[in-house]
């Protein structure tokens, strides 16, 4: 994962402007501490901060075509770059970088090549022959990108908001699955899968197809020239990722360089559900497991830094990002630059506990579509930015394009929670990997109830955040909240605290508009809150807010407090 910044069409192309672009690019250096590059062409600047994972020795950016008339700066990974190079046999490549194919694909196919890319990416490409440019973001928005406009009419692109918010009055989150073309004058969608229309599919469930497609998605993400591991919470999704990686690691190029024992990582408060479950999975798979602890106070102390890096005031995102941020620092200290993670499964399969109340398959399917479309604002943002804060790249095989197509084409009747048939949440995924002859996981792990990451690291984490906010935000302040923050008004003291921290770093109207709002229960969309009348009285993003569904819902755990480690983290 890298940091990119591009400013195109500046009135000022002085040395001072170049120095300013370099200064702003350095705000992204945490994303790419391995190398810095910049290319200037008249009034256009493309800057790059590199995290070297594929071809560390020669893949520095920006990248070029043969005569350097096409320049590209890329953040991401192109998993099918070897197959694409075969299609481009008449072109001369300068590096082994997976991202260099983008410059040559543009030469060969013009602007209509983006759908050929299999990966996670955000890029800006400048054609110096006519000074036209394009920018694009991957299908789901795994890789962050922002678009802004300067007062001088310049167009800005950046991996994170902090690199353009001071110099642009108007800016926005670049929509996933879109391309921006200076020739055509704006944004257009390049990613148009069948599920995007939200029409109800009717394809029968095929567990073998689902399993094989997911295995391919995992294997292609093992493309690396540096040490890597898996984030293992002990829940279904991360455990399946770890299991599949473990099965294929010995035959991979990565194993020949770094050994065939998989490294797994988990973080939590002492005694948390995740730590216990993750150790059990790691022992079953035989991984080199790293169990990391944090205390409530360490998490609270990190809040400001976390919000600065993840650039949101969304409550559930901050709750979950904080332990992930702390874990990523430890992972980087161990010399690991890349990890695989389990984000996306709950959105695709209706894994959040509120899906138990979906009234029919139509509403179930439509909610999964809404959740996938919004991932770039929530879990993708968290997974990317909380790891990139320490120069670690997170890859998410559940958000593979082919896998999403297969999973979202299943008749949603199969995904519905049917206790009368023994089907719990994500049954279609669990069943696909329920192999009696060659088991992927122990049965009780395969069928473990969903825990949201912010819950699984320890229930007292969320309770402590609420207590902390209660002490920081007076009651009188909440009475004035709708006047101080009329857009996305915080409804809780915790939300108010996060909003004040966010506004300190990002005070412009455009910044606060990049964060979604609306009522939610257990991570639902506002529409799904209507499924149960009781939820409107208990609007909290924790999984425990799904009253009557979660085994430890709020009505059962008000007095539970897990013991914190007395000696700090490992």
Question: Which residues fall in the annotated binding site for ATP?
Answer: 231, 267, 341-342
For 419, 427, 491, the CA distances from 446, given in Å and listed in that order, are 17, 10, 37
Dihedral pair phi/psi, residue 477, rounded to 5°: -65, -40
3-state secondary structure of 358: coil
Closest Cα partner for 280 from 238, 341, 321, 222?
238
Angle, CA 184 vertex, CA 515 and CA 62 arms, to 5°: 70
- CA dist 474 and 476 (Å) reads 5
Q: Any residues with CB less than 8 A from the CB of 506 and at least 6 apart, and which?
A: 161, 162, 165, 311, 512
Tokens of 228: 């890597």
For residue 2, indicate whether it is catalytic.
Answer: yes
Catalytic residue among 2, 99, 168, 266: 2
- CA dist 315 and 495 (Å) reads 6
DSSP string, 78-111: ETTHHHHHHHTTTSPPSS--GGGHHHHHHHHHTT
- CA dist 97 and 492 (Å) reads 47
Left (φ > 0), alpha (ψ -120 to 50) or beta: where does 360 sit? beta
Which residues belong to the annotated binding site for L-glutamine?
98
Closest Cα partner for 180 from 217, 222, 225, 148?
148
DSSP string, 403-415: HHHHHHTB-GGGT
- How buried is 151 (Cβ within 10 angstroms: 0-12 exposed, 13-18 middle, 19+ buried)? exposed
Q: Where would I find the H helices in 259-360? A: 273-285, 296-301, 303-310, 315-333, 345-349
* Stated length of the chain: 570
Q: Any residues with CB less than 8 A from the CB of 44 and at least 6 apart, and which?
A: 6, 7, 8, 9, 10, 126, 131, 133
3-state secondary structure of 142: coil
Neighbours of 430 (CB within 10 A): 21
Which residues belong to the annotated binding site?
98, 231, 267, 341-342
| Catalytic residue set | 2
């Amino acid at each position: 994962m890298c940091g990119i910044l591009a400013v195109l069409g500046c009135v000022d192309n002085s040395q001072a402007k170049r120095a300013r672009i370099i200064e702003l690019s350095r705000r992204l250096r945490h994303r790419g501490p391995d190398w810095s590059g910049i290319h200037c062409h008249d009034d256009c600047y493309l800057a790059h901060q590199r995290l070297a994972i594929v071809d560390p020795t020669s893949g520095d950016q920006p990248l070029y075509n043969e005569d350097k008339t096409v320049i590209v700066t890329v953040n991401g990974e192109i998993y099918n770059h070897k197959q694409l190079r075969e299609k481009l046999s008449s072109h001369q490549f300068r590096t082994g970088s997976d991202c260099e194919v983008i410059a040559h694909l543009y030469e060969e196919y013009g602007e209509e090549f983006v759908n050929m890319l299999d990966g996670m990416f955000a890029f800006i490409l400048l054609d110096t022959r006519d000074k036209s440019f394009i920018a694009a973001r991957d299908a789901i928005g795994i890789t962050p990108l922002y678009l802004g406009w300067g007062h001088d009419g310049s167009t800005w692109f950046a991996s994170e908001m902090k690199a353009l918010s001071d110099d642009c009055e108007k800016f926005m989150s670049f929509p996933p699955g879109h391309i921006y073309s200076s020739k055509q004058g704006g944004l257009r969608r390049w990613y148009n899968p069948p599920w995007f229309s939200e029409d109800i599919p009717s394809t029968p469930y095929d567990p073998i197809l689902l399993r094989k497609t997911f295995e391919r998605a995992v294997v292609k993400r093992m493309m690396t020239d540096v040490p890597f591991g898996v984030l293992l919470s002990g829940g279904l999704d991360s455990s399946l990722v770890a299991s599949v990686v473990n099965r294929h690691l010995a035959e991979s190029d990565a194993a020949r360089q770094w050994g065939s024992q998989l490294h797994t990582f988990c973080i939590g408060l002492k005694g948390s559900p995740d730590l216990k479950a993750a150790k059990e999975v790691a022992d079953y798979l035989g991984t080199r497991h790293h169990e990391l602890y944090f205390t409530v106070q360490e998490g609270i102390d990190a809040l400001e830094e976390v919000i600065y890096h993840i650039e949101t005031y969304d409550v559930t995102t901050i709750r979950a990002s904080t332990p992930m941020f702390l874990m990523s620092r430890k992972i980087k200290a161990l010399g690991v630059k890349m990890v695989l993670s389990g984000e996306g499964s709950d959105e695709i399969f209706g894994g959040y506990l509120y899906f138990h109340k979906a009234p029919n398959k139509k509403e179930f399917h439509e909610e999964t579509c809404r959740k996938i479309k919004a991932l770039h604002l929530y879990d993708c943002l968290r997974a990317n930015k909380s790891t990139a804060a320490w120069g670690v790249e997170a890859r998410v095989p559940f958000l593979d394009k082919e896998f999403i197509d297969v999973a979202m084409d299943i008749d949603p009747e199969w995904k519905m929670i049917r206790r009368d048939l023994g089907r719990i949440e994500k049954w279609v995924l669990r069943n696909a990997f329920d192999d009696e002859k060659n088991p992927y996981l122990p049965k009780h792990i395969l069928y473990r109830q969903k825990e949201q990451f912010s819950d699984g690291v320890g229930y007292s984490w969320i309770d402590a955040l609420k207590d902390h906010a209660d002490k920081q935000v007076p009651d009188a302040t909440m009475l004035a909240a709708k006047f101080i923050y009329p857009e996305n008004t915080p409804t809780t003291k915790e939300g108010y605290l996060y909003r004040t921290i966010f506004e300190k770093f990002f005070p412009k109207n455009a910044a606060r508009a990049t964060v979604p709002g609306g009522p939610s229960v257990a991570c639902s969309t506002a529409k799904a809150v209507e499924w149960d009348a009781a939820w409107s009285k208990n609007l909290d993003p924790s999984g425990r807010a799904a009253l009557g569904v979660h085994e430890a819902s709020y009505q059962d755990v008000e007095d539970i407090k897990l013991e914190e480690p007395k000696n700090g983290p490992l």
